[in-house]
Chains A and B, each alone.
Chain A
Amino acid sequence: MLVLGCIALIAGCGCLGLWLAYRIRRRPIELRECSMALALLDTEIVWGATPLPEAFCILKERTDSPWQDFFAELQERLQQGESASTAWRETVITRNAQFCLKPEDWQVIGDVGKGLGRSDRTEQHKQIELVQRQLIIMKEQAEAWSSKQAKMWSYLGFLGGIAGVLILI
């Protein structure tokens, strides 16, 4: 019985550590996907003059989950007549639980919505480019940080479990 308890404790702590490590590894990937999606959006706006609902539909098809669901919700909201800035803000609020991003990432992503669709193509391009530049910096930082941190958490979980077992015994 005691042995089983010990194994459960170690496995539990280990899984928690692995999960945290997974989340840390996901963050730069999600940031990269976001910047890729913004590049697509930029192309649609500048070259295609595509209206936003249609542009989000294209983004939805070209991205993976969770960004796929994010753009699907945006498209739906815009089709119901919501303004782009409110739709973007609300979607960020409702969907952020599905992502592994940090609040500071959302702050940058939230900036996209502020002037979205309100000006001509050159202005839209400028705004999206600005956000993209920031996202790339954040992604690089996250990458450098994540490899170390992820490794640490995946070990720390199991080690924490073993430490717990030792203390309890």
Chain B
Amino acid sequence: MSLHYTLSVVQAPKVTSKAMGPQREGSLPGLNKSATLWADMARWFGDDIRSILNNLKGIDFNEVEELRLRVGQPLLVRTLDKDLFINQEGLAASPQKAYFIKHEDLASAIERMTHSSVYAVEEDLKQGFITLPGGNRVGITGEAVLLNGQIQTIKHISSLNLRIARDIRGLSLKILPLLLSSDGSICHTLIISPPRAGKTTLLRDLIRLISNGVPQVGLKGQTVGVVDERGELAGMWQGVPTYDLGFRTDVLDGCPKASGMSMMVRSMSPQVLAMDEIGHSDDVIAIADALRTGVRILSTAHASSIEEARSRPVITHLLDQGVFERLVVLSRQHGPGTIEGVYDLRTGRIL
């Protein structure tokens, strides 16, 4: 397996022209566009759910965050602020009148999402998720099959959670000046937030800005190495990224962060290393190693506040060692991507 991590160089112009991401179809009129995006999402499901999603009325795709399928439970669409149960006709209904998910719906969804190739997502499945082309992540629960105490696979899948990835541009422009040190380089930054608050989206936007450079704040474009363990940042599909990560970005797709970081430093000489969701003890050692090469670290972690972050041993260790210089805290207070605060970890001040 280790030989087959895809090492691919992102070429931004090519990416933009070839991009198949749902967010790029800006020329279509509003309603039509939403329908197209729904149809694009519907192809991952079996006949019943596909026809429901194709007939969905009155739910704007851009407001939807999650699609949840639980066996024996109603089909649920989670938007920014509401949970909507969907009936057979594609309308929002009461939970009792909604369409109830059958086991076959889940089975055919998994079959379509993996292109009938379960072995290809074997490693992801052990961790309880698969990533769709386009960077949308699907969480999976079911019955875990163990071998010598290690999860072998998940069978009898009982729930699916399709999380829709967003590509919101310009979000990080507000905080970027705060992340620059006096000599104009990027500070080592950690972004923390509870789930569904836009960590990955913010990181993606930061990567793009740093890679392209922002003359307004005096930031020159820098070489960025992205270790995309879960395939969410670039949304790589057969070596082509779905999301534009900038002109100077190299993406190592599907590779564990710890080994990916040293591979990147050795082979691609990045100025900035970006990765999603650190939390494993191996990551700490790899980060410490990478720091010695003078590379800047950009990362995210699950935690809703500094206090909570400090209660996680791995993160505490990193914070105590003074690895990170800036901490960005996100929340969902005013919708996803609300910036609660940017902290200077050296002085403890809010910037």
The CA of A79 and the CA of B119, in the complex, are separated in Å by 17
Which of these binds chain B: A3-11, A17-25, A50-58? A50-58
Query: Of B4, B43, B115, which one neighbours A52 at CB under 8 angstroms?
Result: B115
CB distance from B131 to the nearest CB of A (A): 12
Interface size on A, residues (CB 8 A): 26
Contact (Cβ within 8 A) A120 B119: yes
Interface of chain A: mostly helix, strand, loop or mixed: helix
**1/0 contact trace for B79-122 toward A, CB 8 Å?**
00000000000000000000000000000100110111111101
Beyond A54-B238, A121-B122, whether A116 also contacts B116 by CB under 8 A is: yes
CB distance from B92 to the nearest CB of A (A): 27
Contact (Cβ within 8 A) B122 A117: no
| B interface residue count range (under 10 / 10 to 19 / 20 to 34 / 35 or more) | 10 to 19
CB distance from B47 to the nearest CB of A (A): 10
Contact (Cβ within 8 A) A52 B122: no
Contact (Cβ within 8 A) B117 A51: yes
Give how many A-B residue pairs fall within 8 Å (CB-CB).
56
Quick check: is A78 within 8 A (CB to CB) of the other chain? yes
Quick check: is A35 within 8 A (CB to CB) of the other chain? no
* Residues 86-120 (chain A) with a chain B CB within 8 angstroms: 87, 116-120
Query: Of B3, B43, B111, B118, which one neighbours A120 at CB under 8 angstroms?
Result: B118
A79 to chain B: which residues have CB within 8 Å? 115
Which of A81, A82, A85, A121 has the most C-beta atoms of chain B within 10 angstroms of its own C-beta? A81
Query: Of B111, B116, B118, B120, which one neighbours A50 at CB under 8 angstroms?
Result: B120
Quick check: is B1 within 8 A (CB to CB) of the other chain? yes
B112 to chain A: which residues have CB within 8 Å? 81
Query: Of A49, A78, A85, A116, which one neighbours B122 at CB under 8 angstroms?
Result: A49
CB distance from B294 to the nearest CB of A (A): 34
Contact (Cβ within 8 A) B118 A118: yes
CB distance from A7 to the nearest CB of B (A): 56
A49 to chain B: which residues have CB within 8 Å? 1, 4, 119-120, 122
A78 to chain B: which residues have CB within 8 Å? 115-116
- In the complex formed, the residue of A with least CB distance to B133 is A51
Contact (Cβ within 8 A) A119 B115: no
Contact (Cβ within 8 A) A117 B43: no
Quick check: is B8 within 8 A (CB to CB) of the other chain? no
Query: Of B4, B117, B118, B122, which one neighbours A47 at CB under 8 angstroms?
Result: B4
Contact (Cβ within 8 A) B111 A119: no
Quick check: is A164 within 8 A (CB to CB) of the other chain? no
The CA of A45 and the CA of B3, in the complex, are separated in Å by 14
Instruction: Knowing that A52-B117, A81-B112 touch, tell me 15 more A-B residue pairs with CB under 8 angstroms.
Output: A47-B3, A49-B1, A49-B4, A50-B117, A51-B115, A51-B117, A52-B115, A52-B116, A53-B115, A53-B117, A83-B116, A84-B117, A119-B118, A120-B153, A123-B119
Chain A residues with CB under 8 Å of chain B are 45, 47-55, 78-79, 81-85, 87, 116-121, 123-124
